[in-house]
Structure 1
Amino acid sequence: MIDAQLTPEQIAIQEMAHEFAINEIRPIAMELDHASDPADAVYMPRLLRNMDEVGLRTMSIPEEYGGGGIDDLFTHCLVAEELAWGDRAVVGALLSSNKITRLLTAEALATKEQRDKWLTAYCEDPDFLITQAMTEANSGSENLLPYDGVDGGFQTTAVRDGDEYVINGAKRFVSNTGWAKLNFVYVRTDKSKGINEGVTLLMVPIDAPGLSFGRVHDKMGYRLNLNREMFFNDCRVPVENRLGPENYGISNINSHLRAGDGLINAAGMIGLARAAY
Structure 2
Amino acid sequence: MFEKKHEMIRKLARDFAEKEIAPFAQEIDQTGEYPEELRQKILKCKFHAITIPVKYGGCGGDYRSAAIVTEEIARKCAASVTQIMPNSLSGSPLMLFGNESQKQKYLRGMAEGTMIGAFGITEPGAGSDTASITTTAVKDGDHYILNGRKCFITNGPICDFITVFAKTDTKAKGVSGISAFIVESSWEGFSRGKIEDKLGIRGSKTCDIVFENVRVPAENLLGKEGQGFKICMATLDSGRITVASQGLGIAQGALDEAVKFTKERIQFGKPISKLQNTQFEIADMATQVQCARLLVYDAAYKKDSGQSYTKEAAMAKYFAGECCNDIAYRSLQFHGGYGFMKDYNIERIYRDARIVSIYEGTSEIQKLVISGMVLDK
- 1:152-191 aligned at under 5 Å gives the runs 152-191=131-170
Question: Please, what TM-score do these two structures have when normalized by structure 1?
Answer: 0.86
Distance between the aligned counterparts of 2:94 and 2:174, measured in 1?
21
Cα-Cα RMSD: 1.8
State the distance in 1 between where 2:204 and 2:236 align.
23
Give the C-alpha shift of residue 80 in structure 1.
Answer: 0.9
2:180 maps to amino acid: L
Match of 2:84? 94
Higher RCO, Cα 8 Å, sep 6+: 1
Work out whether residues 129 and 182 of structure 1, in 8 Å CA contact, stay in contact via their aligned partners in 2.
yes
Deviations 1:94-123 (A, max 9, x none): 3323344432233xx322222222222222
Aligned twin of 2:198: 219
2:246 to 250, 268, 276: 268
Letter aligned with residue 187 of structure 2:
A
Q: How many residues align?
A: 255
Structure 2: which 5+ runs fail to align?
Answer: 256-377
2:178/2:225 contact within 8 Å kept: yes
Please give the secondary structure, in 2, of the residue aligned with 1:267.
helix
Please state which structure has a larger fraction of its residues in strand: 1
Instruction: Report if aligned partners of 1:175, 1:226 keep a CA contact under 8 Å in 2.
Output: yes
Determine whether 1:8 maps to 2:4.
yes
Structure having the higher helix fraction is 2
Rounded Cα–Cα distance in structure 1 between residues aligned with 2:16 and 2:114: 18
Distance 1:255 1:173, change over 3 A: closer
Q: Which residue of 1 aligns with 2:102?
A: 114
- Structure 1: state its 5+ residue gaps: 36-40, 144-151
Tell me how far 1:75 sits from its aligned partner.
Answer: 1.8
Structure 1 residues 258 and 218: CA distance shift in structure 2, 3 A: closer
Q: What secondary structure, in the 3-state scheme, does the structure 1 residue paired with 2:46 have?
A: coil
Which of 214, 221, 225 lines up with 1:235 in the alignment?
214
Counterpart for residue 149 of structure 1:
none
For 2:163, what is the secondary structure of its paired residue?
Answer: strand
CA offset at residue 60 of structure 1?
A: 1.6
Where do 1:25-40 residues align within 5 Å? 25-35=21-31
> Partners in 1 of 2:115 and 2:253 — Cα distance?
28
After TM superposition, give the deviation of residue 127 of structure 1 in Å: 4.7
- Please give the per-residue CA displacement for 1:27-72, whole angstroms capped at 9, x wherever unaligned: 111112112xxxxx143635321111111122221111211111x2
- What displacement does 1:171 show? 0.9
Q: Once the two structures are superposed, what CA deviation does each residue of 1:156-178 show, in whole Å capped at 9, x if it has no partner?
A: 11111111111111111110102
Q: Which has the larger radius of gyration?
A: 2
Q: 1:23 is matched with which residue?
A: 19
Distance 1:258 1:215 in 2: 26
